[in-house]
Amino acid sequence: MNCENQSMDKILKTALILLTAIELSEASLRVYRLFQSSIGEPPVKRRENKTFFHVVEKGRNTFKDIIGFDNVKNELRSALEWPLKQRQLMKLYDLQPINGLCLFGPPGCGKTHFVRCAAGEFGANLYIVTPSNIGSIWYGQPEKRIRRVFEEARSNTPSIIAIDEVDKIFPRSSSSSVHPRLISELLQNMDGLLTEESQTVIILLTNEPWRLHDAILRRGRIDRIIYVPPPDYETRVALFKHFMSKIAKNVTIEVDFEELGKLTEPSDKGCYSSAAIKEICRTVKEEIFKERLNGCHDVKIDMRYFLVGLLKVPPDIDRKLILKYEEWGRKKASFSIKSNDSQ
């Protein structure tokens, strides 16, 4: 018994020594970091990837790859083509180029896709900024990244800087000490575009425009505010046809795409986004794939499969949210906001 007690005492003493050593090590590390920060050096120097902001190669997509949304495409074309392609000619006519746009609307309606296609349409380099690639635990690093993306875009013109979820990075109000510094850095760089000859345009993307800091939306910084709504009837019909086009040989003549457009009309339950319609079509494909795995080699798609898809994929945009977008858009948007499908 005494031997067991002695062994236990040794184990406890060893554990206590180890814990003390760990605490001393952590304390030493904290002191070292405080010392490094006091002399103005970062604790760790990280070399960031050259493609940190996801530069997209030219010519990947164009407006031909966007189904419907003619109003939005026309607004983007008029806002971007002149600054990116005809800046010198505009100068002769004393026209100030548009340097900033804002695309707002519900999630799943293709705002980022619009920007990618615009970059391809006008042969511009695309830089995408998101909360994840701007944020950092290191003091001053987010501001440095904002400066860096503007510098890269200016040196690779024509270029588009797209800031996704901009309301999360530059909110109207925040308890964080980082956001005011970030907003100040962004405004300085946006104002710098007004005094330069470089062909760089900034596009803000947001699902909640009312949360965005007012100073950013000031005229002169953001000159076009464009609403990207849920797809209207014609667009929904075209989307169903597009997403089923690669397996069109399996679709029977019984499938009425116009009827599917009506079945996805906005209602009290909500509205269907482009992403939701894509998911309905994916559900249909999954159902026939399951039958193929079960031994059915000649499966034909009829309306029953789409009805199953509609049951599995409900409307994904709240009706009240659409009304909120429309109300905000009537005050801020660059063209009149009309409810889709004469809701």
Q: Residues 79-131: pLDDT tens digits?
A: 888 877 777 788 888 887 787 899 999 999 999 999 999 999 988 889 998 88
Distance CA 284, CA 305 (A): 5
Q: Highest mean pLDDT: which of 196-200, 314-318, 336-340?
A: 314-318
Nearest to 223 by CA among 207, 208, 206, 202: 202
Residues β-bridged to residue 181: none
Residue 53 has pLDDT above 80, yes or no: no
All residues at 6 or more sequence positions from 65 whose CB lies less than 8 Å from its CB, including other chains: 113, 117, 120
Question: Lowest mean pLDDT: which of 37-46, 95-104, 186-195?
Answer: 37-46
Distance CA 55, CA 48 (A): 14
Nearest to 320 by CA among 279, 267, 276: 267
% of the chain exceeding 70 in pLDDT: 75
All residues at 6 or more sequence positions from 43 whose CB lies less than 8 Å from its CB, including other chains: 33, 36, 37, 138
DSSP states along 119-181: HHHTT-EEEEE-HHHH--SSTTHHHHHHHHHHHHHHTT-SEEEEETTHHHHSBSS-S-SHHHH
Q: Token pair for residue 96?
A: 């100030």
Model confidence pLDDT, tens digit, residues 217-274? 888 788 899 999 999 999 999 999 999 999 988 898 889 999 999 999 999 899 999 9
Question: Lowest mean pLDDT: which of 4-8, 183-187, 218-222, 291-295?
Answer: 4-8
For 276-299, what is the mean pLDDT? 90
For 271-294, what is the mean pLDDT? 93
Nearest to 108 by CA among 249, 288, 318: 318
Q: What is the pTM of this model?
A: 0.76
Report whether 196 contacts 228 (CB < 8 A): no
pLDDT class of 35 with cuts at 50, 70, 90: very low
CB atoms within 10 A of CB 341: 16
CA distances from 272 to 193, 208, 313 (A): 38, 18, 9
Helix, strand, coil % in the chain, rounded to nearest 5: 55, 10, 35
Residue type, 293: L
Distance CA 190, CA 209 (A): 18
Report whether 269 contacts 98 (CB < 8 A): no
For 32-40, what is the mean pLDDT? 48
CATH of span 233-316: 1.10.8.60
Name the CATH architecture for the domain at 63-229+323-342: 3-Layer(aba) Sandwich (3.40)
**Domain residue spans of the chain:** 63-229+323-342, 233-316
For 162-174, what is the mean pLDDT? 82
- Name the E strands within the chain: 100-104, 125-129, 159-163, 200-206, 224-227
CA distances from 113 to 60, 66, 118, 164, 310 (A): 11, 8, 8, 11, 24
pLDDT on residue 171: 78
Residue type, 251: V
Nearest to 263 by CA among 253, 228, 299, 255: 255
